[in-house]
Amino acid sequence: MDTEHWVPITRGSDGETVGYLEPLDPEFTQVQPRPVLGHSVGALCDFVTGEERLLDHGIRELAEQWRLVEPELPYALTVLEVSPNGIVVADALKTKALIPTETFRVAWPDVTQRLVLWNR
């Protein structure tokens, strides 16, 4: 996916990137808000609404537990890293206990939603 034209949205208090607005037309009249993992947050909207939605959503998804759609694993995953090189996840319990564990890399942005919330 081409993210070249995505607009990063940052919090004013600390400058942390909370997500991106994906423009769907050259004038930015319609955008798709995407938090740091790249999933969609709600329906298409205008720029200001998308910015507000991302600021409200924040980066809390990074603290959530996830599961991979493929391969299906019997345990929850935690996000270790998010970068243009990918989203790195690993066994949530083992990483919390500082036990070495296998990591998995998902392409960033995860627009195909290979990662889904653990309890869904």
Q: What is the 3-state secondary structure (H, E, C) of the chain?
A: CCCCCCEEEECCCCCCEEEEEEECCCCCCCEEEEECCCCCCCCCECHHHHHHHHHHHCCHHHHCCEEECCCCCCCCEEEEEEECCEEEEEEHHHHHCCCCCCEEEECCCCCCCCEEECCC
What is the pLDDT, as a whole number, of residue 120? Answer: 54
Partners of 33 in beta bridges:
21
Q: Where are the domains of the chain?
A: 7-61, 64-117
Structure tokens at 4: 């070249």
What is the pLDDT, as a whole number, of residue 42? Answer: 93
Q: What is the pTM of this model?
A: 0.88
What is the pLDDT, as a whole number, of residue 11? Answer: 92
Cβ neighbours for 3, distance < 8 A, ≥ 6 positions apart: 20, 22, 84, 109
pLDDT (tens digit, 0 to 9) for every residue of the chain, 120 residues total? 789 999 999 998 899 999 999 999 999 999 999 999 999 999 999 999 999 999 999 999 999 999 999 888 999 999 999 999 999 999 999 999 999 999 999 999 999 999 999 985
